[in-house]
Structure 1
């Protein structure tokens, strides 16, 4: 049995150790590149927040030169005040049928269609919004 040459054996160990270090160094470079990219993204997000803060503070300091939009004019009929009072109390979207129930009106086609027409009129005046067909609610401020 022959023993390997000690010089060759030692050089093989050095080569193996060098290859392992090269691999680890490459992985570390990749990690540094990933972290550098992430740091760049975070810095950009911070810059955007700072700009937003400056803009909001700037706008808050300026007097409001725009004239307020006139509030929509409510139709004269008392039913409209009742409808809006219900929406204010309930605070959630409603259908014409639901409104009839709350107003203690019999659930018949005549009443639901009458209420639906009033709701549509309030939508056309910008007082209510129709979020989906037949579902009405107050607009958010």
Structure 2
């Protein structure tokens, strides 16, 4: 085998190795996308299960009627205290962080959002725009 044949053989092997490398990188990117899709689906299903379990089983904090003088359970009470202490409209993610939970975990934010919406329906909080909550005016009486 002369020098030219050796170089040609090495070049062919290099081209084959490069093609395999690129194929594997594309496969890895596809797998990464599939993993991310599965992660999002698991997170979405966990949120759905948590919300539905609150509807199927006895709720942790029953939603009081707007005229109910003894309003809420512990978790909802904590949310109202956070809104009162901060004294300004807050996003759900901010409330989650103040509660000491991880705002990047969707189910934490969804739980807080769900409860704040119940408090707003009961007239104890107000949703100024989607996901932005504040304490209702006049210490809990409904406001428009």
Question: Which TM-score applies when normalising by structure 2?
Answer: 0.46
Larger RCO (alpha carbons 8 Å, 6+ apart): 2
Q: Quick check: which has more Rg, 1 or 2?
A: 1
